[in-house]
């Protein structure tokens, strides 16, 4: 192809600019701050349980847990204030001569010495460095045998190295840090997410005491306690089965709800994306059940409504990303077997023995499996027709405006890590009405944000069977858009954001959608994927400044600040917000409220309370939860 003179000149200029000065070497601190996603996943503001501010805490606490696992220290103290975090363990303490190196030199740490740290979870010399580089203030204190060493940093830069000094304190390490608010913008910690993180450490380290903000956390029974906390006794088809062996622990039961619910861990790390150990469990459980009952049940029937937790400990685990949320396929046990063979051998012996010793449990499990089998067969015909309708609808309608991001399973190394960080940013907005969906569609980030448009109010699905998911066109298309028909493994978007007006109708639509998710896909909510979009109720402006307000109180402050009768606009619906303005509210500073279920929540009772026949209760709930009730009265 011919090149014009202008293009040729441009190319020459481009190459001319490519000199030695174009080559830049980043030091460890600059690289972490430039590419934080490679080290801590996504940044976020704290509204997701996998946001960076929680990963920072995890990286520091992981080192404490590794000490405990090695037999040093039975207690960890954690304090989290609005923006500051302090973590103290009572292990051996960092060797005093290496305190600065351990927190500021990449590839420096004890995890490389397999004799000192067997089956550890720390980031092999990266974790505390990432915390240091991404904190506006970072202080580490090491205490060993009556001596202490302190070093202080700002954004990874050493600001003060104290001389060694005598002390009467117990051995261990104390770390204090403040996340950098230029990196983590408008962040805040959500107590439920922190508590969940603390409990996981306790469940995986039975006997360890964690003092968190003045409250003591301890577990005596490991994963049995975890499942008891995650389930409701009234929903269990049989008592929780708890099995423990060398380097493996499993707890499982079947419930009445739909879906499969798993909690998987490797060396104390919560692998939220699963991996080879979870895949091995799912497969081994099916084979063990088939062999016990001597019947070739369908795998989906065996696993339907299961709630299970699995924890394994391996030497030198291979993870698919730096944040260690998914165990890789190369991981094997030190005595040689693959993960698949190891888990199958354990279950085929211990679960089989348990079922033989507990015939009542075995009979209850069989009834649950056969109930799922009947339900699946009843759905088979309508499911096929619904899938065909969904394919046709996806070709011709405009209900879903998808994003461009798609997983590429062929990526490896650095590209795979960066892809995982982008995946965590994927969002689908579920909205109602052409004007609202139009505004979001025009202002969204097409790379990672999708929009699903509802047609009117969704059906109240409370008390209905899963058959309605396929019979109702809205639900069927939404299920296919999310790609959750076969479970969460295929979930297309990390965040499902319900975007409705802040009025009675909008609140009602929220409740109807939450009913749909809790009734048929409760694991979406339990795993922290469902959110409510918060958009401003008011715009207050004068010629110099515009302030968006999310409450009456914020509006009053804005009016006071701007003075001299500023222009006040009340947004009564999402459709009234222009696409140009909407871009502000679904971009980097997007405000969302996560849907969090407390441990005491009984899903069916909750749904019956708000979505059953007690309409007066529901109306009172809707009205009391409107962000601006005065307008409702005025209307």
Structural domains in the chain plus CATH codes: 33-218 (3.30.565.10), 223-375 (3.30.230.10), 397-535+573-626 (3.40.50.670), 537-570 (no CATH)
Measured CA to CA, the distance from residue 383 to residue 239 in angstroms comes to: 32
Q: Out of 121-130, 286-295, 307-316, 437-446, pick the least confident.
A: 121-130
Residue 3 has pLDDT above 70, yes or no: no
Query: Concatenated DSSP letters for 59-82?
Result: HHHHHHHHHHHTT--SEEEEEE-S
Residues in the chain: 635
Residue 34 has a pLDDT of 87
Measured CA to CA, the distance from residue 378 to residue 521 in angstroms comes to: 19
Residue 6 has a pLDDT of 44
Q: What is the pLDDT of residues 537-559, one digit of tens each?
A: 899 999 899 999 988 899 999 99
Residue 119 has a pLDDT of 55
Residue 18 has pLDDT above 60, yes or no: no
Helix, coil or strand: residue 534:
strand
Q: Out of 79-88, 188-197, 390-399, 494-503, pick the least confident.
A: 390-399
Residue 620 has a pLDDT of 66
Q: Name the more confident of 272 and 97.
A: 97
Q: What percentage of residues in the chain have a pLDDT greater than 70? A: 84
Residue 615 has pLDDT above 90, yes or no: no
Q: What percentage of residues in the chain have a pLDDT greater than 90? A: 47
Task: List all residues 6 or more positions away from 162 whose beta carbon is below 8 Å from its beta carbon.
Answer: 149, 150, 151, 152
Residue 48 has pLDDT above 70, yes or no: yes
Residue 308 has a pLDDT of 96
Residue 146 has a pLDDT of 95
Give the chain's mean pLDDT.
Answer: 84
- Residue 113's alpha-carbon distances to 117, 281, 305, 607, in angstroms, are 6, 30, 43, 53
Q: Out of 31-45, 292-306, 354-368, pick the least confident.
A: 31-45
Q: What is the pLDDT of residues 416-447, one digit of tens each?
A: 777 877 888 899 999 987 778 888 999 999 99
Measured CA to CA, the distance from residue 474 to residue 373 in angstroms comes to: 26
Measured CA to CA, the distance from residue 155 to residue 131 in angstroms comes to: 9
* DSSP H or E segment with residue 495: strand 495-499
Residue 412 has pLDDT above 70, yes or no: yes
Q: What is the pLDDT of residues 335-346, one digit of tens each?
A: 567 888 999 999
Q: What is the pLDDT of residues 583-607, one digit of tens each?
A: 888 988 788 989 887 766 667 777 7
Q: What is the pTM of this model?
A: 0.83
Residue 317 has pLDDT above 70, yes or no: yes
Neighbours of 182 (CB within 10 A): 10
Confidence of residue 281 (pLDDT cuts 50, 70, 90): very high
Maximum average pLDDT range among 97-111, 394-408, 483-497, 602-616: 483-497
List the beta strands (DSSP E) in 145-266: 147-154, 157-161, 165-166, 172-179, 209-212, 215-218, 241-245, 248-254, 261-266
Q: What is the pLDDT of residues 496-533, one digit of tens each?
A: 999 988 777 888 888 889 889 988 998 898 888 999 99
Mean pLDDT of 44-63: 91
Residue 476 has pLDDT above 50, yes or no: yes
- Residue 57's alpha-carbon distances to 92, 140, 629, in angstroms, are 20, 14, 39
Residue 584 has a pLDDT of 86
Residue 462 has pLDDT above 60, yes or no: yes
Beta bridge partners of 80: 85
Q: Out of 20-34, 446-460, 507-521, pick the least confident.
A: 20-34
Residue 632 has a pLDDT of 33
Residue 627 has pLDDT above 80, yes or no: no
Residue 56 has a pLDDT of 94
Residue 38 has a pLDDT of 80
Q: Out of 157-166, 209-218, 328-337, pick the least confident.
A: 328-337
Residue 288 has pLDDT above 90, yes or no: yes
List the beta strands (DSSP E) in 246-347: 248-254, 261-266, 269-270, 306-312
Residue 332 has pLDDT above 60, yes or no: no
Residue 11 has pLDDT above 60, yes or no: no
Q: Name the more confident of 523 and 392.
A: 523
Mean pLDDT of 155-168: 95
Measured CA to CA, the distance from residue 38 to residue 417 in angstroms comes to: 6
Q: Out of 135-149, 191-205, 607-621, pick the least confident.
A: 607-621
Residue 291 φ/ψ region, left for φ over 0, alpha for ψ in the -120 to 50 degree band, beta for the rest: alpha
Residue 613 has a pLDDT of 66
Measured CA to CA, the distance from residue 305 to residue 260 in angstroms comes to: 5
Maximum average pLDDT range among 46-50, 292-296, 431-435: 292-296
Q: What is the pLDDT of residues 65-103, one digit of tens each?
A: 989 988 899 999 999 998 899 999 999 999 999 999 999
Residue 333 has a pLDDT of 53
Residue 628 has a pLDDT of 39
Mean pLDDT of 282-295: 96
Confidence of residue 167 (pLDDT cuts 50, 70, 90): very high
Task: List all residues 6 or more positions away from 211 whose beta carbon is below 8 Å from its beta carbon.
Answer: 75, 76, 77, 78, 217
Neighbours of 100 (CB within 10 A): 16
Measured CA to CA, the distance from residue 132 to residue 155 in angstroms comes to: 6
Q: Name the more confident of 272 and 400.
A: 400
Query: Concatenated DSSP letters for 563-626?
Result: -S--EEEE--SGGGS-HHHHHHHSSTT-EEEE----TT--HHHHHHHHHSS-HHHHHHHHHHT-
């Amino acid at each position: 192809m011919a090149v014009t003179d202008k293009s040729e000149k441009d190319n020459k200029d481009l190459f001319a600019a490519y000199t030695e000065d174009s080559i830049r070497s980043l030091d460890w601190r600059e690289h972490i701050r430039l590419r934080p996603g490679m080290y801590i996943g996504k940044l976020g503001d704290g509204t997701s349980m996998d946001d960076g501010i929680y990963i920072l805490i995890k990286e520091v606490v992981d080192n404490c847990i590794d000490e405990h696992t090695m037999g040093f220290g039975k207690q960890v103290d954690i304090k989290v204030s609005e923006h500051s975090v302090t973590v103290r363990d009572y292990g051996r303490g960092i060797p005093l001569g290496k305190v600065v190196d351990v927190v500021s030199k990449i590839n420096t740490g004890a995890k490389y010495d397999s004799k000192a740290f067997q089956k550890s979870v720390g980031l092999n010399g990266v974790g505390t460095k990432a915390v240091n580089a991404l904190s506006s203030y970072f202080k580490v204190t090491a205490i060993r045998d009556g001596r202490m060493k302190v070093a202080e940093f700002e954004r990874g830069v050493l600001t003060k190295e104290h001389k060694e000094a005598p002390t009467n304190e117990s051995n261990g390490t104390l770390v204090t840090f403040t996340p950098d608010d230029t990196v983590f913008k408008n962040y805040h910690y959500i107590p439920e997410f922190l508590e969940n993180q603390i409990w996981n450490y306790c469940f995986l380290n039975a006997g360890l005491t964690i003092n968190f903000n003045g409250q003591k956390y301890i577990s005596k029974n490991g994963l049995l306690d975890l499942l008891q906390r995650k389930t409701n006794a009234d929903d269990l088809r049989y008592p929780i089965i708890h099995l423990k062996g060398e380097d493996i622990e499993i707890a499982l039961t079947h419930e009445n709800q739909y879906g499969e619910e798993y909690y998987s861990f490797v060396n104390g790390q919560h692998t939220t994306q699963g991996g080879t150990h979870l895949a091995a469990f799912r497969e081994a459980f099916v084979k063990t059940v088939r062999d016990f009952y001597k019947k070739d049940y369908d795998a989906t029937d065996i696993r339907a409504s299961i709630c299970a937790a699995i924890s394994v400990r391996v030497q030198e685990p291979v993870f698919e990303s730096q944040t260690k949320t998914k165990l890789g396929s190369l991981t094997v046990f030190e005595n040689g077997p693959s993960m698949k063979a190891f888990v199958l051998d354990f279950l085929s012996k211990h679960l089989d023995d348990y079922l033989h010793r507990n015939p009542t449990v075995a009979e209850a499990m069989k009834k649950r499996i056969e109930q799922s089998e009947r339900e699946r067969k009843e759905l088979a015909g309508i499911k096929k027709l619904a899938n065909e309708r969904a394919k046709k609808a996806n070709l011709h309608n405009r209900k879903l405006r998808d994003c461009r991001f798609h997983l590429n399973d062929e990526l490896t190394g650095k590209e795979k890590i960066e892809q995982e960080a982008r995946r965590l940013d994927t969002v689908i907005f579920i909205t109602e009405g052409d004007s609202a969906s139009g505004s979001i569609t025009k202002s969204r980030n097409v790379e990672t944000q999708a929009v699903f448009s509802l047609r009117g109010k969704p059906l109240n699905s409370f008390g209905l069977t899963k058959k309605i998911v396929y019979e109702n066109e809205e639900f069927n298309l939404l299920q296919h858009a999310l790609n959750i028909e076969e479970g969460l493994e295929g979930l297309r978007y990390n965040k499902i954001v319900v975007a409705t007006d802040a009025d009675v109708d909008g609140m009602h639509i929220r409740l109807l959608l939450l009913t749909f998710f809790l009734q048929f896909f409760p694991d979406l909510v339990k795993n922290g994927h469902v959110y409510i979009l918060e958009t401003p109720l008011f715009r207050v402006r004068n010629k110099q400044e515009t302030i968006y307000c999310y409450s009456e109180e914020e509006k009053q402050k804005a009016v006071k600040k701007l003075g001299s009768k500023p222009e006040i606009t009340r947004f009564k619906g999402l459709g009234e917000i222009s696409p140009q303005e909407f871009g502000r509210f679904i971009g980097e500073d997007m405000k969302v409220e996560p849907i969090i279920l407390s441990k005491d929540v009984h899903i069916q009772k909750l749904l019956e309370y708000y979505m059953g026949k007690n309409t007066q209760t529901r109306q009172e709930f809707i009205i009391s939860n409107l962000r601006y009730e005065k307008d409702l009265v005025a209307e």
